Structure 1
Amino acid sequence: MRYYLLLLFTFFSCLVTAQQTDVVDFKRINANIMHRGYENVVTGRIFIDFQIKKKTDTIFLDAINTRVRDWHLYSEESKEPDYRAKIFNSDNKIFIIHNFKKNKKYKLHLDYGMTSKKAMYFVEKEEYTQVWTQGQGKYTSNWLPSIDDMNDKIEFDLSIIADEDYYVISNGKLLNVEDDNGFKTWHYDMLQPMSSYLVALAIGEYDKKEITSKSGIPIQLYYYPEDSAKVEPTYRYTTQMFDFLEEEIGMPYPWQNYKQVPVKDFLYSGMENTSCTIFSDDFMIDEVGFVDKNYVNVNAHELAHQWFGDLVTETSGIHHWLQEGFATYYALLAERDIFGDDYYYWQLYQYFKELEAQEQAGQSTALLDPKSSSTTFYKKGAWVLHVLREKVGDKAFKTVVKRYLNKHAYGNVETNDFISEVEKVSGMNLSNFVQVWLKSKALPINEMKTALQSNETSAFLLIIEEHPYLTYRTDDDDNYIPSSLVTQLPDGFYPIQVAVLKETLSKPEYPTYNDLVKEAFASKNLHLRQALALNMSEISEDFQQDYETLLNDQSYVTIEAALYNLWANFPRKRNEYLEQTQSVFGFNDYNVRTLWLTLALATPEFKTDKKQDFFEELVSYTNPEQPFSLRQNAFGYLSSIGVFNKEALKNLVEASKHHNWRFKSFAKTLLENLSEDDRYRSIISNLQEEN
């Protein structure tokens, strides 16, 4: 028996490593899924249509922690199941064993139950559990038996049963919603195939705003009922960007509709699921928040992915830049359409500086290295497209992109598929370009600087970087940059002004120092004033009154920095500063409020009868029902004042098991530090044993 099992294991292991896409083509997965909101259990019934490409006796589905309850295999010419077929259910796959015939079509029916440990997340939100999925990589098989190979494009049609109080959002068009004894079944239909990692599901309490693109595509913007006032600033420019990308790319949006859904404690900024972007609800912002932290770039990036990543998908990680580099570049083009050329080149400059810093740290990799960093795939990928467009010309570039997308629509691509199209249209040999920009890990710094010289803003930033002394030479010097530059520049764009100001603030001995600082305080430009808040931590009495005006700015970043710096520099006025800012909360992470509570606790004479209330409020923000960004702020400030109660420690132990790895890592490190404190060691140990 052991020998037989060993042979069986060896057989299946060999099968798994083979390219199943050469043997079978999965056409359609029609899934009926039952959501149990109180636990990470998924039950479902799926019908899978597939066609055999080569004669074989075994195919498989990816399915993690799955128990098959019932199943039947049908051939295309029979309505009765074929009882000769066998099934083998391992920990991560379902093998179907049968004498499959070449070119023959089959349908597989499965009833299953899964315990989802990845990809589907059950998140506490106030008085209910929000559910959302994140399948990028090879994770959808943790909640839906499917094919993890991104080279197998499948039409996914989902029907989801959930509590009647919840809204269910998935890929494709919502056909109808059926009521059934306290539950609702939501039927979604996709018309075109996609990779399984792009299948999405979100369940929660939502309202929506519906708009329409110029081409007639329905766009649904979801939001929490309590966030109705945040809809406009959050989704600002959505229609403009959608219309721009359709025109710029030269190919109509390839799906039936487009949806955007905020969720709590998402793993990333956003994810470009086909026709259904899921993004972090930290980007649901109000009018003030828009100044410093808005959704515009993420919005444009995930929308661009609907073409680059969803319509055409990389064959492997070697070609990841075809998704992330393209999405970054086209998002930047969409922002250029909104904010102008200076903004576009300023961003290219920022990307250049990130890439340069990466190279200086000895961490540069080639763009075609599958282990490259996000900075390489995103930022260098965008730079490649910018330089390539300049090289071949605007008209040829747009022709290439259109031909490339049409030729490989709903399929998979490699870098050569794109490069060869560029060579055909332009008539150029790009072998040297590919070697320098794609295959070499060295950054072509001189070429990048030359490209930046074509715009006055980015060219000036290079000058300031290389010759900072120009900001403080005398009026007699040829290249002198006077302090009045701050007021002479147009208000519409600020990076040059900020660069001059920051350089001056770093050298108080500059002859122009006082004049420039005074002009900056007098400016109505929020970004320039924010530079003062962030770069002027020591405040002389000469600037005290000017600095105090920063507390009135419509910027949560400015208020946060100004409150702390004023509190630190002028102890006698701490009560006044705290009174002035006590109603400001800030972003969704309550950046201003958590700082305010900490300063209020650290100011002995301020509202002595409210100290316990302040502490309990700060502790309440560590609760699992709060977003992890707010919890991290609260934990950080409790650590700064050196006081934790049992409730906060319990919440910290829970946080050390959170699904977001960055937050989990933060919590683990803090727990380790606190465990060295005699006050907390035994409490933490007991709490960890209980969990």
Structure 2
Amino acid sequence: MKYLLFIFFCSILQWPLLAQTQDVKRIAAEIELLPESKSIKSKVEVIVDILQQTNELYLDSKIETIESVVSGNDTLQFITDNGKLIIRGDFKPSEYSFNITYTTSPKQTLYFVNDLNEHQVFTQGQGKYTSHWLPSIDDMTDKIEFDLTITAPQHLNVMASGVLDSVSSTKTKKTWYYDMKQPMSSYLVALAAGHYDHKSLTSASGIPIQLYFEPKDTEEFEATYRHTSTIFNFLESEIGVPYPWQNYKQVYVKDFLYAGMENTSLTIFSDAFVTDDIGFIDRNYVNVNAHELAHQWFGDLVTEKSSAHHWLHEGFATYYALLAEREIFGEDYYYWKLYESAERLKELSDSGKGEALTNPKASSLTFYEKGAWALHMLREDVGDLAFKIGVKHYLNTYAYKNVTVDDFLAAIEEASGKELSTFKANWLEQSAFKAEAALNSLKASEFMQHYFKISALRETPIEDKADLFFKELSAPKVNTYIGQEIVYQLANEPHKEALSLMRMAFNTNNHLIRQAIVANVKEIPKALQSEFESLLQDNSYQTKELALYALWSQFPNKRVTYLEQLKGIKGFSDHNVELLWLTLNLATQNYEPTNKSETFQKLTTYTNTKYSYQIRELAFNYLYQIEAFSDESLMNLVDATTHHVWRFKKFSRELLKELIKKPDYKKRLLQLKATFTKEENAFLDTIL
């Protein structure tokens, strides 16, 4: 055993040395997608420069079975060792080309969802390693040109990083040829396939933009992708450096692991953002759209050398997305989002959990939101002109290369003539959030100054602020955020003047102010019942959901009326209104009594794998609340305990642990055990 361990560690120590002897220039992959077996069949050409004579080359490869490695007419010897493919031979300084063939069913990074003609396939490289499906170099400091040729069943359309050169067809298959011109880190190479159509746009600078959608979502296309042209043109202008890739594509997929991912020239995002006009008001793709596009410069064009420099990715994408939203939604929105962010960061800092932006293990809140705040403050410090000149110089200098925080700061110092060590210490290296400095910055906004005056009245008696609130709510156009703050202060105030003012808040007809009322009022005053009932007709799925539950709970004699009003309303893409409606229907004995079995089955069906994990999670939650799991929904819950989205998997496992505390559920699960997969049973064995 000691001898084997010695060999193993020697092999590990050799890998950095191998990296110094080779430079992978290009990877051209021919990949056939096999959705029925959830596998791929691949032939990958790797072109590598040998920098000094060696008898071993390596690639990262977590593919268990490599069939062959061939160079010209020579079959090369190889081994796979701890996630590495090591190729043996007598390699002298020169350029070499070799082909790797394999068939694999990736455990992660490349995902197959749905069945039959609804198949979807997509990749997620960041944090998951592309080498699970494509032998490459996982180290993000090694940039490679990737060209993908992808064969798929005839009914699927395929998207990938790069420009589509051509498509060829047979009776049963299509082959898609994608070409890249510039190198990138391997975690950014991507493909997606599914039953999609697309619409094309062209940016002001002439960049082709393709926006993909499923035919069933044709009516939701405009709202889902709303403002895409504005975002693209704004970011190109604001950043000052032309979009760095040949084209730009966006596609949504079911059960994506995150909100979105900035793969080079191909953003993949969650179908949770598919929306209609009504849904757009409360949940839209605008921020994620802008965030992932900003990454095409900050992360894809210039890439961090290590996670200690992750601010250069997420802080920048968050900041520029917020600038794009300011362009669309206005100055008040921009400052309000900064304020909300500052509140979260201050809370984290005050609890002793603040983190430095240079901490490679910092949280998303730190990298994203504190990172955006750091850029906001830096821009205030050096001025708009110097900031934009510095950013442009930074991007041009390090295009298609890797960078550090100091590289960026040096570019800003050169542009501004300012020394930034104090900024670095206060905003990047200090774990505490500079709340006082942030507050002073927010006060540059007249709107925020006004908001702070209103919010300072929270402990003031209603009679001492009623006149001011009356004036605010009487304005021709009530500021959304001021109105929400007033509602918050009035929400559970029993004073008669509060009821009068609350009625004025209803009459603003501002959907966010009206929504704030139902979100904050714990007990609906009888005098305002009709106003609350009017919320069921608001063009907001969030408001409809909140109002239905509040009214159904507090006015039992009108439950049938309320359910009838929202019958047939789906809500957001997660069916939030419909799932609540189904649950309340089951809990209302005198409503549709002859349809209870059908209603229960419909709620149960939403736990099935054919639906997104967001829909399934809501359905599981409601079944838990009404204690109504059938064998079908129990089996679907067990299936969810092995889901590839870790948050949903964790939720499902925790819920199952709760269910088995009840003897009946535990007994039924034991009876069903023979129907579960090996992986599902492995988890069940740990809790039963």
Same fold (TM over 0.5): yes
Pick closer, same or farther for the CA change 1:688–1:327 going to 2, 3 Å. farther
> CA separation in 2, counterparts of 1:483 and 1:21?
70
Structure 1's 365 and 487: CA in aligned 2 closer, same or farther, altered over 3 A? same
Per the alignment, residue 386 of structure 2 pairs with 396
Q: 1:265 aligns with which of 239, 242, 255?
A: 255
1:485 and 2:475 are equivalent in the alignment: no
Which digits, 9 at most, give the CA deviation of each residue in 1:530-556, with x for residues without a partner?
111211231121001111100000000
**Superposition pairs of residues 317-336 of structure 1, within 5 angstroms:** 317-336=307-326
| Structure 1 residue aligned with 2:141 | 151
Matches within 5 A, 1:72-151: 72-73=70-71, 80-81=72-73, 86-90=77-81, 92-102=83-93, 104-124=94-114, 127-151=117-141
* More displaced stretch, 381-390 vs 123-132: 123-132
Aligned to 2:282, which of 279, 288, 292?
292
Is the counterpart of residue 628 in structure 1 residue 613 in structure 2?
Answer: yes
Question: In 2 relative to 1, CA 401–677 (structure 1 residues): closer, same or farther, beyond 3 Å?
Answer: same
Query: Aligned runs of 1:168-207 on 2, under 5 Å?
Result: 168-207=158-197
Name the CA distance, whole Å, in 2 between partners of 1:537 and 1:567: 13
> Against the structure 1 CA distance between its residues 655 and 6, is the aligned structure 2 distance closer, same or farther, given a 3 Å change threshold?
closer
Q: Hey, what does 2:303 align to over in structure 1?
A: 313
Does the C-alpha gap of structure 1 residues 443 and 180 become closer, same or farther in structure 2, counting only changes over 3 Å?
A: same
Alpha-carbon shift at residue 125 of structure 1 (Å): 5.6
Contact 1:150–1:196 (Cα < 8 Å) also in 2: yes
Q: Is residue 44 of structure 2 the alignment partner of residue 46 of structure 1?
A: yes
CA distance in 2, matches of 1:93, 1:290: 46
- Aligned match of 2:26 in 21, 25, 28? 28
Over residues 325-370 of structure 1, what are the superposed CA-to-partner deviations in whole Å (9 max), with x where a residue is unaligned? 0000000111111111111111110110111121233221111001
**1:506 shift after superposition:** 3.9
Give yes or no for contact 1:471–1:481 (8 Å, CA) kept in 2. no
Q: Residue 527 of structure 1 aligns to a residue in which SS? A: helix
Asked if residue 366 in structure 1 is aligned to residue 356 in structure 2, the reply is yes
Equivalent AA in structure 2 for residue 89 of structure 1? T
Write the distance in 1 (CA, Å) between the matches of 2:465 and 2:423.
Answer: 45
Corresponding residue SS for 1:586: coil
Compute the displacement of 1:137 (Å).
Answer: 2.2
Q: Which residue of 1 aligns with 2:483?
A: 497
1:674 aligned onto 2:659: yes
What is the root-mean-square deviation in Å for CA atoms of aligned residues? 1.8
Q: Describe the SS at the equivalent of 1:483.
A: helix
Q: Give per-residue Cα distances to partners, 1:101-132, cap 9 Å, x unaligned.
A: 34x21112111122200001111267532111
Contact kept? 1:131, 1:203, Cα under 8 Å: yes
Contact kept in structure 1, 2:469 and 2:486, CA below 8 Å: no
The 1-side partners of 2:459 and 2:673 are apart by: 56
- Partner secondary structure for residue 267 of structure 1: coil
Task: String of CA shifts for 1:572-616, please: whole Å, max 9, x gaps.
Answer: 111111111111110111101111111111111111101111100
Give the letter for the 1:505 counterpart: A
Equivalent residues of 1:125, 1:264 under 8 A apart: no
1:15 is aligned to 14
The one-letter amino acid paired with 1:66 is E
Q: Give CA deviations for 1:469-504 in whole Å, capped at 9, x if unaligned.
A: 35835269xxx732331231635x411211121122
Aligned match of 1:469: 459
Change (3 A) 1:431 1:20: farther
Report if the CA contact (8 A) 2:117-2:155 is conserved: no
Alignment partners' CA distance in 1, 2:17 and 2:557: 72
| Cα separation, 2, equivalents of 1:90 and 1:678 | 47
Give the drift of 1:38.
1.4
TM-score by length of 2: 0.95
What's 1:526 paired with?
Answer: 511
Alignment of 1:579-594 (within 5 A): 579-594=564-579
Tell me the distance in 2 between the aligned counterparts of 1:22 and 1:420: 28
Match of 1:66 in 2: 64
Instruction: Provide the C-alpha distance between the structure 2 equivalents of 1:19 and 1:343, rounded to a whole number of angstroms.
Output: 52
For the Cα contact (< 8 Å) 1:173–1:256, is it kept in 2? yes
1:494 partner letter? T
Q: CA deviation at 1:66?
A: 3.1
Of 244-253 and 46-55, deviating more is: 46-55
Aligned to 1:446: 436
* Cα pair 1:138 1:149 within 8 Å, conserved: no
1:643 is paired with a residue whose SS is coil
What's 1:554 paired with?
Answer: 539
The one-letter code matched in structure 2 to 1:672 is K
How far did 1:40 drift?
2.8
2:604 is matched with: 619
Give 1:461 deviation, angstroms: 3.5
Residue identity in the other structure for 1:52: I
Counterpart contact for 1:471–1:503, Cα < 8 Å: no
Query: How far is the alpha carbon of 1:10 from its aligned partner?
Result: 3.2
Instruction: For 2:124 and 2:628, locate their aligned partners in 1 and report how far apart those are by CA, in whole Å.
Output: 36
Instruction: State the shift of 1:521 in Å.
Output: 1.2
Conserved? CA contact 1:259–1:277, under 8 Å: yes
Query: Percent identity of the aligned residues?
Result: 46
Q: SS of the residue aligned with 1:588?
A: coil
- C-alpha distance in 1 between matches for 2:550 and 2:2: 73
How far off its partner does 1:90 sit?
A: 2.8
Deviation at residue 618 of structure 1 after TM alignment? 0.3
Q: Does the 8 Å contact 2:454/2:485 carry over to 1?
A: yes
- TM-score of the pair, normalised by structure 1: 0.95
**Structure 2 portions without partners, runs of 5+:** 678-688
Partners of 1:683 and 1:188 in 2: CA distance: 51
The whole-number CA distance in structure 1 between the counterparts of 2:62 and 2:38 is 13
Q: CA deviation at 1:248?
A: 0.5
Q: After superposition, where does 1:641-656 map in structure 2 within 5 Å?
A: 641-656=626-641
Q: Which amino acid aligns with 2:258?
A: Y
Of 578, 582, 585 in structure 1, the residue corresponding to residue 563 of structure 2 is 578
Q: Which moved more, 1:58-67 or 1:466-475?
A: 466-475
Query: Is the 8 Å Cα contact of residues 254 and 307 (structure 1) preserved in structure 2?
Result: yes
Q: Identify the range of structure 1 (408-417 vs 125-134) with the bigger mean alpha-carbon deviation.
A: 125-134
User: Given that residues 464 and 470 in structure 1 are in contact (C-alpha distance below 8 angstroms), is that contact kept between their aligned partners in structure 2?
Assistant: no
Q: What does 1:506-517 align with in structure 2 at a 5 Å threshold?
A: 506-509=492-495, 512-517=497-502
Shift of 1:138: 4.6
Distance 1:414 1:95, change over 3 A: same
Cα distance change on mapping 1:539 and 1:62 into 2, 3 Å: same
Instruction: Measure the CA separation in 2 of the matches of 1:154 and 1:108.
Output: 15
Map 1:205-354 → 2, pairs under 5 A: 205-354=195-344
Using the TM superposition, give the Cα deviation of residue 98 of structure 1 relative to its aligned residue in structure 2, in angstroms: 3.0
Which secondary structure does the structure 2 equivalent of 1:288 belong to? helix
- What is the CA distance between 1:662 and its match in structure 2? 1.0
Contact map agreement 1:125 1:626 (CA 8 A) in 2? no
Answering whether residue 650 of structure 2 is matched by residue 665 of structure 1, we say yes
Provide the rounded CA distance (Å) in 2 between the counterparts of 1:63 and 1:114: 11
Whether the 8 Å contact between 1:66 and 1:91 is mirrored in structure 2 is no
C-alpha change, 1:687 and 1:356, in structure 2 (3 Å) is farther
SS at match of 2:252: strand
Q: Is the Cα contact below 8 Å between 1:653 and 1:667 reproduced in 2?
A: yes
Please state whether the residue corresponding to 1:113 is helix, strand or coil: strand
Closer, same or farther in 2 for the Cα pair 1:352/1:361, shift >3 Å? same
Post-superposition shift, 1:526? 0.7
Cα 1:133/1:471, change in 2 over 3 Å: farther
Query: Compared with structure 1, are the counterparts of its residues 21 and 432 closer, same or farther at alpha carbon in structure 2 (3 Å cutoff)?
Result: farther
Q: 1:77 is matched with which residue? A: none
Deviation at 1:228, TM superposition (A): 0.4
